[in-house]
Structure 1
Amino acid sequence: MVTTRHRLRTFAVASALAFAALGGGIATASADIGPAETSFLEEIGINNATLPGRSADDMVAAGYLACGNLRAGVSVLDEISAVEQAYHFDQGTLFVSAATTNLCPDFAG
């Protein structure tokens, strides 16, 4: 029997992988990056949690994708795992934390 948690995890992983496969797909134009996005980029830079081989626009889009997944019901732990799997790095905790702090501070998980 497939549980809701399993479905949400599958959704998170599939979303992150699709985003990665599209090369970042829905990136924000650099000129449109505001204070929240700037703070997010600074935090992941300071914490060495930038996505390998990705532009600032791609990282902002990935941060917003993480926020969307969390709002859709994906657990924080599952989203951390999905980010780490999609981008092949081990800083998912810091990345997702920076996203929730700066890009979706209204998220209460």
Structure 2
Amino acid sequence: MPWETQIRQDGAAQDASGFHVAITTKLSVEDIMAIGAQRRWRAVHCDRGGAFDLVELWIDNRFLVEVLPPEGSERYHAFYRPEVAGKMFAAPQPEEV
């Protein structure tokens, strides 16, 4: 999917974990970014293909936690329903002749 290239890291590829988790929070984007800055963790505000936004918070600059602030969380839950996400992830159907 186009937004997958937005999951990014600094440093050598072997330094990053291949796993991640997404969580919701009541904190704002600015608050999440401040937590990252305070701990010197990479924190990037990202848009996932226009479907929803989140902050990539790289714990110890190695483990990705996708943190969804309130608005991003609302958009995420609206997107990940079968009638919405299912259309995006469905295999292309051959055109009727």
Q: After TM superposition, is the score higher than 0.5?
A: no
| TM-score, with structure 2 as normaliser | 0.34
Larger radius of gyration: 2
Ranked by relative contact order (alpha carbons within 8 Å, sequence separation 6 or more), the top structure is 1
Higher helix share: 1
More strand by share: 2
TM-score when normalising by structure 1: 0.31
